[in-house]
Amino acid sequence: MLFYILTFVGLSLAESGKTTRYWDCCKGSCGWEKKANVDKPIDTCAKDGTTRVASNDTVKSGCDGGEGYMCYDQTPWSVNDSYSYGFAAAACCGGESGACCGCYDLTFTSGPVNGKHMIVQITNTGGDLGSNQFDLAIPGGGVGIYNGCTAQSGAPSDGWGSRYGGVSSRSECSQLPSGLQAGCQWRFDWFQNADNPNINFSSVRCPAEIIAKTNCNRV
């Protein structure tokens, strides 16, 4: 159901949707050229998760035998008790051309995070996602269909924890590379281990703090 809400950037039309979680370590689909009207594709990282590599069609994904992986700093973090920033794969907003590098304010409407907000930038898509589904990029959230985490970090064949769902406790975050542990712990702290909560979402201007981690702006 559509309804109007007032966001910090003005009156915006919101829609309902749902969330899931994943972290497959693969180069994001918004890291390829000409996917959308952006100044440049999202940053892609080398095997160490921090060194930026060329974000273009010459760098293959680590999930396809290449050298491009998700960056360790493209993980969620809390701004305060009621707001967080992060990244997501999504099936919404006009497909890749309309979604890549766009930011959305997610208002959670179910579970322990009911009423909390999260602004995410879309960095990926997914053929297995349903309409208006945001797959939150949370380290240790499950590798899903693809698993680049074994090639990148020596993770088990199904990733850390279950292939779909990931680790089941905060203590298991210690299994992940040190650069991903804070993002994994976020799920059990700010996110209160919510299991695929529903949302209302609306388009917003990307905060500078998010852009600083992807270097991708829509133009």
Q: Tell me: the pLDDT tens digits for 123-164?
A: 998 778 999 999 999 999 999 999 999 999 999 999 999 999
User: Looking at residue 95, what is its pLDDT?
Assistant: 84
N residues, the chain: 219
pLDDT of residue 12: 53
What band does 6 get if pLDDT is binned at 50, 70 and 90?
Answer: very low
Q: What is the pLDDT of residues 175-191, one digit of tens each?
A: 999 999 999 999 999 99
| Cβ(131)–Cβ(137) below 8 Å | no
Counting other chains too, the contacts that 206-211 makes at CB distance below 8 Å and 24 or more residues apart are 206/101, 206/102, 206/103, 206/119, 206/121, 207/85, 207/103, 207/119, 209/85, 210/85, 210/87, 210/103, 210/119, 210/121, 211/121
Asked if 124 and 138 count as a contact pair (C-beta separation under 8 A), the reply is no
Q: Can you give the pLDDT at residue 20?
A: 97
Query: In the chain, pLDDT over 90 holds for what percent of residues?
Result: 87
Confidence of residue 7 (pLDDT cuts 50, 70, 90): very low
Domains in the chain: boundaries: 15-214
Whether the predicted pLDDT of 9 surpasses 50: no
Res. 82 pLDDT band, cuts 50 70 90: very high
| Average confidence (pLDDT) over 20-41 | 95
**Residues 153 and 184 sit within 8 Å (Cβ to Cβ):** no
CATH of 15-214, one of 2.160.10.10, 3.40.50.620, 2.40.40.10, 3.40.605.10: 2.40.40.10
- As a whole number of angstroms, the distance between CA 27 and CA 70 comes to 5
pTM: 0.92
What's the whole-number mean pLDDT along residues 81-87?
98
- Contacts of residues 206-210 at CB distance under 8 Å and 24 or more positions apart, as own/partner, are 206/101, 206/102, 206/103, 206/119, 206/121, 207/85, 207/103, 207/119, 209/85, 210/85, 210/87, 210/103, 210/119, 210/121
Q: What is the mean pLDDT of residues 23-36?
A: 95
Q: DSSP letter at 69?
A: B
Residues above pLDDT 70, as percent of the chain: 95
Residue 1, token pair as written in the block: 């159901």
| Cβ-contact 128, 8 below 8 angstroms | no
Where is mean pLDDT largest: 33-37, 45-49, 50-54, 124-128? 45-49
Question: What residues are labeled active site?
Answer: 24
The tens digit of pLDDT for each residue in 114-125 reads 999 999 999 998
* Residue 85 pLDDT greater than 90, yes or no: yes
| Angle 35-219-73 from CA coordinates, rounded to 5° | 70
